[in-house]
Amino acid sequence: MGDTPHNPADTLQRRGLMFILSSPSGAGKTTLSRMLLAQESEIKLSVSATTRPPRPGEIDGVHYHFVTPERFQQMVDEDDFYEWAEVFGHRYGTPKGIIRAALKEGQDFLFDIDWQGTQQLYQKDQQDVVRVFILPPSLKELHRRLKARATDSPEVIAARMERARAEISHWDGYDYVIINDDVDVCFAKVRAILAAERMKRARQTGLIPFVRGLMA
């Protein structure tokens, strides 16, 4: 098959997308995110700006864009965030300018954010956003997974379970919902969604010149 002519339709220019993976804690979102980043070369994790100081080993521009509280406020005032929030006294936000420029070049971004961040992102730029929610097979199984981590006290687990119930109640604010009973099956579904969304006519900006060429 080595002499098959290259098909230019395979490499048409397209606009990137913002791929949101949300789930309650323990439903497998972090594992799925890692798998996706390892196997999909055209998607990268969205890097947030934050006012919190870097932890050992964290690199500016890779893990976070570390900014001063003054600079962060300036970005808020200039409407340069898709979404931002304050968590434990530090502020975190998704910088709009950097992402918009990369989307135009066909770069996909993965977002690991909750339903509130998802809502804000969708309101600012719904044409580029794909929302995927991961559900646990049951709350009993979710509790078992959180307990199996052996990192949290019973009080923390109880708080996480309460938060999980609140997160699950927003399942209908997503485009796709997947039950994560088997991580490999779930991952295959996540990749299928990503592949289909990349092929949407509106995102394939190279189609217009390609079709013009066909009809010339």
In a domain, 1, yes or no: no
CATH of the domain at 89: 3.40.50.300
| pLDDT tens track for 41-74 | 999 999 999 999 999 999 998 889 999 999 999 9
Determine, yes or no, domain membership for 191: yes
Q: Tell whether 7 is covered by a domain.
A: no
Quote the percentage of the chain above a pLDDT of 70: 95
The identity of residue 4, as a single letter, is: T
Per-residue pLDDT band for 2 (boundaries 50, 70, 90) equals very low
Q: Report pLDDT for 189.
A: 98
pLDDT in tens, 17-32: 999 999 998 898 989 9
Please give the model's pTM, rounded to 2 decimal places: 0.84
What's the pLDDT tens digit per position in 130-181? 999 999 999 999 999 888 877 788 898 999 899 999 999 999 999 999 999 9
Domain annotation covers residue 2 = no
- Give a yes or no: residue 203 inside a domain: no
* Confidence band for 8, pLDDT divided at 50, 70 and 90: low
Enclosing domain of residue 44: 13-198
- Radius of gyration of the chain from its Cα atoms, rounded to whole angstroms: 20
What total number of domains does the chain contain? 1
The pLDDT, as a whole number, for residue 10 is 61
